[in-house]
Amino acid sequence: MGDVLLGALVVLGAATLAGFISVLLVGIPDPSDPNAANDLLSEPAVLVTSVLTQQVAMIGWVLWVGARKGNGVIRDFGLRFRWVDIAIGLGAAISALVVGNVVITFLSNLANTDAVDNTGFIDASDQGLWIIPIVLMVVVGAPLSEELFFRGLVFRAAERRWSTGVSIALTTVAFSLVHVSTDVSAAENLLLLLGIAIYGFALTAVVAQFRRLGPAIIGHMAINGLVVTALLAT
Q: Give the whole-angstrom CA distance, residue 234 versus residue 48.
A: 22
In this predicted structure, the answer to whether residue 121 has a pLDDT above a threshold of 90 is no
The percentage of the chain sitting over the pLDDT mark of 70, rounded to a whole number, equals 84
Q: What angle do CA 178, 169, 71 make, to 5 degrees?
A: 80
pLDDT at 50: 86
pLDDT band of 18, cuts 50, 70, 90: confident
The tens digit of pLDDT for each residue in 128-164 reads 787 888 889 999 999 999 999 999 999 999 999 999 9
Q: Give the whole-angstrom CA distance, residue 155 versus residue 159.
A: 6
The tens digit of pLDDT for each residue in 25-84 reads 666 555 555 555 555 556 777 788 888 999 999 999 999 999 888 888 888 899 999 999
Which region among 72-76, 124-128, 212-216 has the lowest average model confidence (pLDDT)?
124-128
Helices (H), the chain: 2-26, 36-41, 44-69, 73-77, 84-111, 124-127, 131-136, 142-146, 155-161, 164-177, 186-210, 214-233
Tally of CB atoms within 10 A around 158: 20
pLDDT at 58: 95
The pTM (predicted TM-score) of the whole model is: 0.89
